[in-house]
Structure 1
Amino acid sequence: MTENLVSVKVEVSDRVAEVTLLGPGKGNAMGPDFWRELPVVFGALDADPEVRAVVVTGSGANFSYGLDLPAMMPAWGELLGGDALAAPRTRFLGEIRALQDAVTSLAACRKPVVAAISGWCIGAGLDVISAADIRVASADAKFSLREVKVAIVADVGSLQRLSGVIGEGHLRELALTGKDIDAERALRIGLVNDVHPDQAAALDAARRTAAEIAANPPLVVQGTKDVLGHERERRVADGLRYVAAWNAAFLPSKDLGEAVQAFLERRPPEFTGQ
């Protein structure tokens, strides 16, 4: 499982697996390697009888800058380059569902997942932590559901999973503004369970929580997670199918092209609603 991984590192000790995001994009940005490897890793952890809990964290100062847009653009070019007809839209629908399935592999893992977040957690990073069971952060953590600012309807799970975590009002505020929030606000709205002074303290807390979980009867823990997720995951699956179809139909726009160009040119975008 751990051989030849590029985007994550996996270490197992005392019945707890630690999954560390490595990039290779700056700030652990999530490119094609990440989306290919994440479901492989969590599928293997789910099947490993020696693993009873999982900690997921980021290498370096940040959890993740989110989607590695330049790395992912080649896969999207056919759709975004002109008047896409049914075939390229269908292929793009498959691309979206593959990304969704990668994050769902974390939510579906029978071993509880504790996320330790430091620095930036943006976009797809928020999708990943929304699929975790428990979230802890360091005081310097910052969160942003930023897709709206790059002319994309978030489609990998945050819109479906976070309403049950932070409530509809807070989710709508984050999703419609794309604003950044700090660790204190994240704690206040329930996005994270606890905030710790620094990255090391947050990771230590995540490890302690995972160890507590791992000390309990494993089949009962797995059953508890399954029961807790029963209603949510059925609703999430329906929402993911809907947003995937929506984006396959409506994502191509002049505003998205402008967002990509502005990102590459490091300037503010000018959206026209086209």
Structure 2
Amino acid sequence: MDARLFEELGEVFESLDRDHAVRVVILTGPGKDFSLGLDLKSAGDLLISLAEAGDTDARQDFLELLHGWQDAITAVASCRKPTIACIAGWCVGAGVDLAAACDIRIASSDSVFSVREVRVGIVADLGSLQRLAGVIGDGHLRELALTGGDISASRAASIGLVNHVMDGAENAMVAAAATAARIAQNSPLALRGIKEILNAEREPRVAAGLRYTAAWNAAFIFSEDLREAMQAFTEGRDPVFSGR
């Protein structure tokens, strides 16, 4: 997931939201994986350049960029059309943020999930910490976010991260399409009302949490830990964090 994807994601979902011909949206990955998360190479280069600048303007530039990425994921969550994430393979980092913004998640049995940001020295900042609390509960969310560990599709289903697990990517898409067809038979006005009412309680809390998280990460963009994480990724080794 790179800057271009985030820009297009927001535009596409705003368009889908306005299109009266659209009843349900299925979101899936372009290949064997749903999403490997943020493109760490391009993101790392950007973060290092901002950190080297080391001034208030650099911090503000990062904050504005992050707000734009958050808004793109929020466009998915705010879409008044029901959304289904059809997940196969890896669903990592920002991919989990994207899946969490959808109403329903259907996964292939080979899916692997990870809220991995802590392993690269940052706080997950695109919505997982805010939206998943009401989906999987505080305890499971803390475990995923604090360890940065990987969990299987079956574990994801057991904690409520996904609604259904199917045998293989093809069957997952069949199930997603069948679910979409059932939803599409219902009144568009009722569907919109359900989403808006459910979102009315959640989204103000999510919005406040997103802005706080963005401010936190912007404050620590110059940390040695973040620089070490990006350098370790470039060198293909595990980072050694110092807490500075």
Q: TM-score range by the shorter chain?
A: over 0.9
Q: Does 1:39 align with 2:27?
A: no
Deviation, 1:85, is 2.3
Q: Does 1:112 align with 2:72?
A: no
The match for 2:29 is 58
Give the counterpart of 2:198 among 205, 215, 228.
228
The match for 2:163 is 193
The amino acid that maps onto 1:90 is Q
- Structure number with the higher helix fraction is 2
CA displacement, residues 136-192 of structure 1 (integer Å, 9 cap, x when unaligned): 101000000000000011111000000000000000000000000000100000000
Does the 8 A contact of 2:59 with 2:221 survive in 1? no
- Partner of 2:143, secondary structure, is helix
Query: In structure 2, what is the Cα distance between the partners aligned to 1:237 and 1:111?
Result: 20
- Partner of 1:271, secondary structure, is coil
Query: In structure 1, what is the Cα distance between the partners aligned to 2:136 and 2:55?
Result: 38
Q: Does 1:96 align with 2:63?
A: no
Query: In structure 2, what is the Cα distance between the partners aligned to 1:171 and 1:53?
Result: 28
Query: In structure 2, what is the Cα distance between the partners aligned to 1:136 and 1:75?
Result: 34
- Partner of 2:22, secondary structure, is coil
Query: In structure 2, what is the Cα distance between the partners aligned to 1:85 and 1:207?
Result: 49
Q: Does 1:268 align with 2:231?
A: no
Give the counterpart of 1:210 among 168, 180, 191.
180
Query: In structure 2, what is the Cα distance between the partners aligned to 1:34 and 1:43?
Result: 14
Query: In structure 2, what is the Cα distance between the partners aligned to 1:102 and 1:81?
Result: 27
Note the residue ranges of structure 2 that are not aligned, 5 or more in a row. Answer: none
The amino acid that maps onto 1:110 is R
The match for 2:19 is 48
Q: CA-atom RMSD, angstroms?
A: 1.0
Query: In structure 1, what is the Cα distance between the partners aligned to 2:14 and 2:198?
Result: 20
Does the 8 A contact of 2:228 with 2:240 survive in 1? yes
Identity fraction in percent: 55
The amino acid that maps onto 1:42 is F
- Partner of 2:239, secondary structure, is coil
Query: In structure 1, what is the Cα distance between the partners aligned to 2:60 and 2:12?
Result: 27
Note the residue ranges of structure 1 that are not aligned, 5 or more in a row. Answer: 1-29
Q: Does 1:80 align with 2:72?
A: no
Does the 8 A contact of 2:44 with 2:230 survive in 1? no
- Partner of 2:155, secondary structure, is helix
Q: Would you say how many aligned residue pairs link Structure 1 and Structure 2?
A: 244
Does the 8 A contact of 2:92 with 2:115 survive in 1? yes
- Partner of 1:81, secondary structure, is helix
Query: In structure 1, what is the Cα distance between the partners aligned to 2:41 and 2:48?
Result: 11
Query: In structure 2, what is the Cα distance between the partners aligned to 1:261 and 1:123?
Result: 19
The match for 1:132 is 102
Query: In structure 2, what is the Cα distance between the partners aligned to 1:102 and 1:73?
Result: 20
Say which structure, 1 or 2, has more relative contact order (CA 8 Å, 6+ apart): 2
Deviation, 1:265, is 1.3
TM-score, normalised with respect to structure 1: 0.87
Does the 8 A contact of 2:48 with 2:227 survive in 1? no
CA displacement, residues 223-266 of structure 1 (integer Å, 9 cap, x when unaligned): 11110111100100010111111111123211111111111111
Deviation, 1:74, is 4.3
